[in-house]
Structure 1
Amino acid sequence: MYEIVLLIVAALIVGMSKGGLSTAAAIAVPMLALFMNPVKAAATLLPVYIVTDWVGVWLYRHHFSKRNLFILLPAILAGVAIATLITPYTPEWALLIFTGLIGIWHVARAWLKRHDDSQAEAHIMPGLFWGTLTGIASFITHSGAPPVQAYLLPQKLPKLEFAGTIAIAFAIGNIVKLPAYWVIGQLDGLNWSLVAGLAVAGIAGTVAGRWLTARLSQQLYMRVIQIMLAVLSVLLLIRGGMQVI
């Protein structure tokens, strides 16, 4: 019974992340890995990611940064292509630790500069770098949030624009990942009735996440995102370290 409860909670978390609390989604797979194979957990949630992605796109259809998407999307797609080629040769622990360190570095940098009111620009070369890393990390470990947030958070975008940009970027990135997951067999043997029920829970979570995002102040929203990013990054470091041990 507790497995079903955790599956529903994971779907709600994925949905809330697509509704604006963008870092939360990557917590879902480690949660399910408590009782099921992590690869199977990721495969079970992938349809939920895709459904809630597009609910998020609809909810944020008027709130996004065109320039950032113009820079990030080609880079994310390139990252997915690179990950498809290197996944058989890349130990998961290495990318988990690397991605976790990126998140910790960014949170520490944000806290050290918390009284700095300057805003970074959406520069092309940093965006291509972080976007490519986002595509690779998202494909292999479902943890693309730290790299993309390391690029977007210093720009101090309005909260809805920040959330909408991430929602659209990951919606397109996850659609591109779907054929690759199918080819390597991650979608085989799924309980599609269960997946459909989880998708409904995910949609409810997306609407709830959008509601919360709209009501949090700009400062509180960014603080929540930073705290969630720190927690996620520590979890990634722990997962990577446990694989090394």
Structure 2
Amino acid sequence: MPVLDVSQWAVVLLSLFLVGFSKTGVSGAGTVAVALFAIVLPAKQSTGVLLPLLLVGDVVAVAVYRSHADWPKLIRLFPWVAGGVVVGALVVRWVDDTQMKRLIGGILLTILVVHLWNRRRDPEASLAHHRPVAALAGAFAGFATMAANAAGPIMALYLLAAGLPVLGFLGTSAWFFLILNAFKVPFSVALGLITPATLAFGALVFPAVLAGAAAGRVVVRRIDRKRFEQVTVALTVLAAVRLLV
């Protein structure tokens, strides 16, 4: 169980509130939460502590938005995501925290540039509709989530580019991350990232995730798609810069 001072507890609880908020509200907040969590704990250790708590938020999100998923897009992604998770698990064994943060930050910025360029195209000609782009997005998401729980902005940019409405975005994301995070659990246990101590810590702090999820439901009812996209992109930029610096 991590030993934290008052300020570190405040960062942890804020991070977990943002985790819940990202699951039912603005998804970009989740990557900010990952970055904040890594301030308190070493990056690799933080991924094991955070994964069970992400699953708590995923279950809540699926319960709320389960009927809004775009399953054809999910099915297209999953084989590539699985491959990315396997590669990410191998890489985690060989790189240190600093290298991992910079690698994920670089991936995020690259995808963000592609997304901003893609916005200028006809929605029907969006790159997100092409199978090779879906394959790359899935592989990067699988790798990033295994390495640093950082698949959120990759999937957010992909689903925004695909033109999904807010509820479709949230429903598709909810099922995607519930299945993905459950798939990651055996790898995280094998790598020693999830332990009885991390589970005990999660049992203590998971109410913060539920509080964030409740707040996200309130906010998402009051936000249109354009503002939703602007906030998601802005939070992605902040997270990428935080990982690179």
* Interval of TM-score (by shorter of Structure 1 and Structure 2): 0.7 to 0.9
Question: Offset at 1:102?
Answer: 3.7
Question: Offset at 1:192?
Answer: 4.3
Question: Offset at 1:23?
Answer: 2.0
Identity value in percent: 26
CA deviation vs aligned residue, 1:9-51 (integer Å, no higher than 9, x gap): 1111111111132122222233233333222222222211111
Which of residues 225, 229, 237 in structure 2 aligns to 1:230? 237
Check conservation: 1:72, 1:169, Cα contact below 8 A.
no
Instruction: Compare 5-14 and 142-151 and name the one that shifted more.
Output: 142-151
Check conservation: 2:70, 2:168, Cα contact below 8 A.
yes
The letter of the residue matching 1:99 is: I
Q: Number of aligned pairs?
A: 238
What is the TM-score when the length of structure 1 is the normalising length? 0.86
Check conservation: 2:62, 2:174, Cα contact below 8 A.
yes
The letter of the residue matching 1:70 is: I
2: CA distance between counterparts of 1:138 and 1:22?
14
Which of residues 181, 185, 207 in structure 2 aligns to 1:200? 207
Question: Offset at 1:113?
Answer: 6.3
CA 1:83–1:48 in structure 2 vs 1: closer, same or farther (change >3 Å)? same
Instruction: Compare 46-55 and 110-119 and name the one that shifted more.
Output: 110-119
Moved over 6 A (4+): none
2: CA distance between counterparts of 1:93 and 1:13?
23
Instruction: Compare 23-32 and 84-93 and name the one that shifted more.
Output: 84-93
CA 1:107–1:84 in structure 2 vs 1: closer, same or farther (change >3 Å)? closer
CA 1:184–1:99 in structure 2 vs 1: closer, same or farther (change >3 Å)? closer
1: CA distance between counterparts of 2:198 and 2:154?
32
For the aligned residues, what is the CA RMSD?
Answer: 2.3
Check conservation: 1:92, 1:140, Cα contact below 8 A.
no
Check conservation: 2:45, 2:193, Cα contact below 8 A.
yes
Q: Which residue of 2 aligns with 1:48?
A: 53
Q: Which residue of 2 aligns with 1:243?
A: none
CA deviation vs aligned residue, 1:122-169 (integer Å, no higher than 9, x gap): 332211221011001110111112332342222221011112212211
Q: Which residue of 2 aligns with 1:96?
A: 101
CA 1:85–1:146 in structure 2 vs 1: closer, same or farther (change >3 Å)? same
Which of residues 140, 146, 150 in structure 2 aligns to 1:143? 150
The letter of the residue matching 1:186 is: L
1: CA distance between counterparts of 2:92 and 2:201?
28
List alignment gaps of at least 5 residues for structure 2.
Answer: 1-5
Which of residues 70, 86, 91 in structure 1 aligns to 2:75? 70
Q: Which residue of 2 aligns with 1:129?
A: 136
CA 1:107–1:39 in structure 2 vs 1: closer, same or farther (change >3 Å)? closer
1:164 aligns with 2:175: no
Q: Which residue of 2 aligns with 1:23?
A: 28
CA deviation vs aligned residue, 1:192-243 (integer Å, no higher than 9, x gap): 45422321210221222132122201111111111111111111222xxxxx
CA 1:123–1:205 in structure 2 vs 1: closer, same or farther (change >3 Å)? same
Written as runs of structure 1 = structure 2, the 5 A alignment for 1:163-182 is 163-182=170-189
Check conservation: 1:15, 1:204, Cα contact below 8 A.
yes
